[in-house]
């Protein structure tokens, strides 16, 4: 029994000597994770901005879905007043845009959005717009 086990161990040793896996050198040989890797762990560190074309399409879709708006006058450059909206309607449109893009716009900023281009600029430059 003892002889079988020792001969098996001899076979084991020789097999291991002849079967070697080539060691792969890791790309970062220093072994330290620099600032670049650590910062990308959490997505909120750098904002994810939306494409401007997508923003334009979605904003115009939201504005057109409002029943009081004149669909023929909706364009990127028109102000909400030209489209036939009251000042209270403008507030409602801004709230609808907030819900569409999952944004939280402070009251002072929301008051400044008076046209479709204002809204598009604001949303395209917002880091957390979805």
90, 42, 94: which is closest to 68 by C-alpha?
A: 90
Under the binding rule (CB under 8 A), the answer on residue 51 touching another protein is no
Binding to another protein in span 58-117, by CB under 8 A: 87-88, 90-92, 94-95, 98, 102-104, 107, 110-111
* Angle CA 110–111–116, to nearest 5: 70
85, 55, 81: which is closest to 69 by C-alpha?
A: 85
User: Active site includes 121?
Assistant: no
3-class DSSP assignment, residue 115 = strand
By CB under 8 A, the count of residues binding another protein is 28
Under the binding rule (CB under 8 A), the answer on residue 128 touching another protein is yes
CB of 42 to another protein, least distance (A): 4
3-class DSSP assignment, residue 63 = helix
128, 100, 102, 89: which is closest to 113 by C-alpha?
A: 89
CB of 88 to another protein, least distance (A): 5
Residue span binding another protein (CB under 8 A) among the ranges 12-20, 32-40, 59-67, 71-79: 32-40
Q: Which of 8, 10, 38, 71 binds another protein (CB under 8 A)?
A: 38
Q: What would the two tokens of residue 6 be?
A: 């020792």
Q: Which residues are catalytic?
A: 86
């Amino acid at each position: 029994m003892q002889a079988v086990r020792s001969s098996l161990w001899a076979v084991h040793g020789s097999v291991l000597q002849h079967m070697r896996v080539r060691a792969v050198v890791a790309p970062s040989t220093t072994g330290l994770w620099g600032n670049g890797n650590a910062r990308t762990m959490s997505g909120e560190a750098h904002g994810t901005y939306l494409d401007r074309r997508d923003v334009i399409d979605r904003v115009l879709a939201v504005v057109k879905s409002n029943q009081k708006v004149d669909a023929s006058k909706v364009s990127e450059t028109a102000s909400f007043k030209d489209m036939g909206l009251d000042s209270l309607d403008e507030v409602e449109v801004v709230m609808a845009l907030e819900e569409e893009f999952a944004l939280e716009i402070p009251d002072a900023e929301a008051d400044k959005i008076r046209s479709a281009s204002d809204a598009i600029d604001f949303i395209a430059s917002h880091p957390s717009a979805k």
